[in-house]
């Protein structure tokens, strides 16, 4: 069986939490045996997922469930206050560990600089593995959650768009500019020097997202990493970006991993869906099975929340999602909201198991029948 194009194994991520700092709680231990200072808490505990050549995987779930950490952590593209402490990433057969010593002053200074230069950050990330750095810089495209704030404010759009090619290839300045202009045309933006010289404040939110997609396409990537690519866009702009992504998938055969809280939006583009809750992937299945035959109660609850014109009401899911820093992982994190929870759910964190086509974390998945998209009116 061939290896996946992109695979994340046992990803561990910690974040800083003021409450734990005040209490003096000890920090977690990294994969290398380093003990983090008080105030740090592990919120992603051994997350794994993969995507094959040409496949689209969608990570879906409520806000603050850990989706973006799962997506950006493998590339060490996390904001200050969060960091990878374990796990491996494999891309096109090359494996890399995306974490660095906490006490490394140079790494900390670099992260602060990258927080101010997000687009450039994908090109100049300080990877200790040169092969992985080149793969990220030349073969992986990125769409960030904030289409305007992700551009560096004092550098023209055209210069940022070609930076990765400038750093990782031998292309001339003219060849890079041609690629950038061609990519702008591919996303239906003007192929003009005026746009190349524009700064982020001169773009609308929709134009900024299209320009970011164009910057990604200059690499002719095999993989697109998209973090809430429709976030904050009006309906026409969001529909346009989604159609562009579908076109990239169909015409280029490009693999994608995208994050979204909008299940309806990903239904038309994803091959598989990974449902995220409480810093874990609780169910992964082909998109048709996720929507029609969910195996995890949380997945069924999300599907029941999709608005529909032919329904009288939504199906209510009680309770609120937990804060990632408060989850103990001593039991199922969904148990407080789950109508099927029993003592074992509250005491033992369920391991991933296969039920039909789904890989699911639920002690009772094989015994319960849950409503999907066809039976959303059930209460």
CATH assignment at residue 70: 3.40.50.300
Indicate whether 229 and 96 sit together in one domain. Answer: yes
Q: Is 281 exposed, middle or buried (0-12, 13-18, 19+ CB in 10 A)?
A: buried
Claim to verify: residue 254 and residue 287 sit in the same structural domain: no
**Do 121 and 148 share a domain, yes or no?**
yes
When divided into structural domains, the chain yields a total of 2
* Site of tokens 């702009």: 237
Q: Are residues 228 and 308 in the same domain?
A: no
Residue 275 falls within a domain, yes or no? no
In 228-371, beta strands by DSSP E: 255-260, 272-277, 280-286, 353-355, 358-360
| 145 within domain boundaries | yes
* Alpha helix segments (H runs only) across 125-204: 130-139, 157-161, 163-168, 173-186, 193-196
Return the pLDDT at 138.
87
Q: Which residues pair with 6 in a beta bridge?
A: 51, 91
Q: Quick one: pLDDT at residue 235?
A: 84
In whole angstroms, what is the distance from residue 194 CA to residue 331 CA? 56
- Give residue 315's pLDDT: 67
| Rounded Cα distance, 321 and 37, in Å | 27
- Domain co-membership, 263 together with 295: no
Distance of alpha carbon 116 from alpha carbon 108, whole angstroms: 13
What is the predicted pLDDT for the residue at 295?
97
Q: Residues 231, 300: one domain?
A: no
216 and 304 belong to one structural domain: no
Q: What is the pLDDT of residue 309?
A: 42
Final residue belonging to a domain, choices 245, 270, 295: 270
**296 and 254, same structural domain?**
no
* Same-domain pairing of 327 and 352: yes
- The reply to whether 179 falls in a domain is yes
pLDDT along the chain (379 residues), means of 10: 90 91 85 90 96 96 93 88 94 89 55 53 69 88 87 89 86 91 90 89 91 89 92 85 89 93 86 96 96 95 73 67 90 94 96 96 95 63
* pLDDT of 124: 57
pLDDT at 376: 46
Structure tokens at 97: 């560990």
In a domain, 1, yes or no: no
Q: What pLDDT shows up at residue 225? A: 95
Same domain for 116 and 17: yes
Show the DSSP H helices in the chain as ranges.
18-23, 67-72, 105-116, 118-124, 130-139, 157-161, 163-168, 173-186, 193-196, 205-217, 235-252, 263-266, 287-292, 297-304, 343-347
pTM score of the predicted model: 0.90
pLDDT for the residue 102: 59
Residue 263, CA distances (Å) to 146, 302, 306 in order: 20, 8, 7
Token output for 103: 């006490």
**What CA–CA distance (Å, rounded) separates 348 from 88?**
26
pLDDT at residue 122 in the model? 64
Residue where one domain finishes, among candidates 236, 270, 304? 270
Using the 3D structure, point to which of 251, 270, 289 is the last residue of a domain.
270
CA–CA separation, 200 and 184 (whole Å):
15
CB 85 within 8 A of CB 14: yes
Question: Are residue 138 and residue 84 in the same domain, yes or no?
Answer: yes
Q: Do both 229 and 323 map to the same domain?
A: no
Distance (Å, whole) CA 368 – CA 243: 37
The domain of 304 spans 280-375
């Amino acid at each position: 069986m061939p290896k996946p194009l992109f695979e994340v194994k046992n990803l561990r991520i910690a974040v800083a939490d003021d409450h734990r700092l005040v209490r003096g709680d000890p920090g977690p231990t990294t994969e290398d045996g380093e003990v983090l200072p008080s105030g740090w808490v592990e919120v992603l505990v051994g997350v794994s997922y993969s995507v094959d050549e040409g496949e689209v995987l969608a990570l879906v779930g409520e806000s603050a469930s850990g989706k973006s950490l799962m997506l950006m952590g493998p590339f060490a593209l996390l904001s200050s206050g969060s960091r990878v402490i374990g796990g491996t990433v494999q891309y096109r057969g090359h494996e890399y560990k995306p974490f660095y010593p906490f006490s490394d002053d140079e790494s900390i200074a670099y992260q602060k600089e990258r927080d101010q230069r997000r687009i450039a950050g994908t090109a100049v990330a300080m990877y200790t593995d040169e092969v992985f750095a080149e793969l990220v810089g030349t073969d992986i495209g990125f769409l960030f959650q904030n289409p305007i704030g992700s551009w560096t404010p004092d550098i023209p759009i055209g210069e940022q768009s070609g930076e990765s090619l400038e750093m990782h290839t031998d292309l001339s300045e003219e060849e890079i500019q041609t690629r950038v202009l061609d990519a702008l045309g591919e996303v239906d933006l003007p192929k003009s020097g005026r746009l190349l010289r524009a700064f982020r404040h001169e773009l609308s939110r929709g134009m900024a997202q299209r320009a970011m997609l164009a910057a990604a396409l200059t690499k002719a990537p095999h993989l697109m990493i998209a973090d809430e690519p429709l976030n904050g866009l009006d309906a026409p702009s969001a529909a346009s970006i989604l159609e562009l992504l579908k076109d990239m998938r169909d015409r280029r055969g490009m693999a994608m991993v995208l994050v979204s809280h909008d299940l309806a939006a990903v239904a038309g583009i994803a091959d598989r869906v990974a449902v995220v809750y409480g810093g874990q992937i609780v169910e992964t299945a082909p998109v048709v099975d996720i929507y029609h035959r969910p195996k995890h109660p949380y997945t069924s609850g999300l599907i029941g929340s999709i608005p529909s014109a032919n329904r009288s009401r939504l199906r209510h899911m009680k309770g609120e999602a937990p804060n990632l820093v408060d989850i103990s992982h001593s039991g199922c994190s969904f148990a407080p909201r789950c109508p099927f929870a029993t003592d074992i759910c509250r005491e033992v964190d369920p391991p991933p198991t296969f039920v039909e086509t789904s890989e699911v974390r639920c002690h009772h998945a094989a015994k319960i029948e849950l409503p999907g998209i066809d039976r959303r009116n059930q209460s």
